[in-house]
Amino acid sequence: MKKRILGKNGPEVSSLGLGCMGLSFGYGPATEKQDAIKLIRNAFEIGVTFFDTAEAYGPYLNEEVVGEALEPFRNEVVIATKFGFKNGKPAEGLDSRPENIRAVTEASLKRLRTDRIDLLYQHRVDPNVPIEDVAGTVKELIAEGKVKHFGMSEAGADSIRRAHAVQPVTALQSEYSLWWRQPEAEILPLLDELGIGFVPFSPLGKGFLTGTINENTNFDKSDFRNVVPRFSEENRKANQGLIDALTHIAIQKGVTNAQVAIAWLLAQKPWLVPIPGTTKISRLEENMAAASVELTKQDLAEIETALGSIEVQGARYPQQLQALTGR
């Protein structure tokens, strides 16, 4: 797989990473541990060198799985994890106090079976802790050799600028796809200006862009999408037009919907590294093959014409979670 540099001074990683969250959290019951380890190692075998996790995924379970899976080739991969929630539980609120950042880092190092975290993200901006204090704490951890790069997730432009002035931000992780294009307005130009890499999560619109979800789909009772307005039955039906247009383009190219969606992202910026996630090896192979799909200028123009005018219905988060983004 081809490589990319995350931002101006970031690490070199595979052009697609693996988002590991869904193996343990968010999309129904956790994948059996050995199956999850097998999938992660399979990803490495086909060229993935960038793996994303967080203490909040489980909590803790995902880091343990990722750590065990990657231990045999730790020095050949880049591992990203996150801090920022009380006790690793989003429902308990935010906690980016310096002492918590330090405690989480030490615990994450143990679970990940490593002596350094390659990329440490603040999971969400904490309005109760000055972003300068957060960046300063991570700067100290970098000086101590426990962390190599600082990242932010779902942060707003002002917070990114302020943090970057204290400790250069290597990467921003936020949602971005044909399903959610808001970062194009303010965030992408800012990242370009500051030399910060971009890591889009949910590049397949939490599965919707694959074309395998429709108004009749039933999610597991523990699936996060049950509370997402965009995934209501009414909105799934309303948004089918986007899928129909994407499917038409995919058929023309002789590839899958998912591959078009991921290839479109890769074509946006050279410092952008999507992290599609999956629990199935067949889907893993399909997603990673998207790195070889070349979209011409004509293809991109056709996608823009076909999909750019379609207004996706429904909020991407319930109100209480949306309030945590863009700060």
Residue 320 lies in a domain: no
Residue 235 lies in a domain: no
Indicate whether 308 pLDDT > 90: no
Indicate whether 150 pLDDT > 90: yes
Indicate whether 44 pLDDT > 90: yes
Distance CA 107, CA 195 (A): 30
Q: What is the dihedral of CA 39, 199, 246, 232, to 10 degrees?
A: 80
Distance CA 306, CA 298 (A): 12
> What is the arithmetic mean of pLDDT over 18-26?
97
Distance CA 312, CA 269 (A): 23
Residue 300 lies in a domain: no
- Residue 273 has phi, psi (to 5 degrees) of -130, 100
pLDDT of residue 313: 96
Domain total for the chain? 1
- Whether 57 is a known active-site residue: answer yes
Residue 209 lies in a domain: no
> Structural domain of residue 39, as residue ranges?
3-204+268-291
163: CB partners within 8 A, 6+ apart = 122, 131, 132, 134, 135, 150, 152, 155, 169
Residue 70 lies in a domain: yes
Residue 215 lies in a domain: no
We report the CATH number of the domain holding residue 88 as: 3.20.20.100
Q: pLDDT (tens digit, 9 = 90+) per residue, 270-304?
A: 999 999 999 999 999 999 999 999 999 999 999 99
Q: pLDDT (tens digit, 9 = 90+) per residue, 189-233?
A: 999 999 999 999 999 999 999 999 999 999 999 999 999 999 999
Residue 69 lies in a domain: yes
> What is the arithmetic mean of pLDDT over 45-65?
98
> What is the arithmetic mean of pLDDT over 8-17?
96
pLDDT of residue 309: 86
pLDDT of residue 55: 98
Helix (H, G, I), strand (E, B) or coil at 82: strand
Catalytic residue, candidates 57, 60, 121, 317? 57
> What is the arithmetic mean of pLDDT over 306-323?
93
pLDDT of residue 317: 95
Residue 101 lies in a domain: yes
What are the residues facing 51 on neighbouring strands? 18, 79
**Burial annotation 228-241 (CB, 10 A radius, 16+ → b, else e):** bebbbeebbebbee
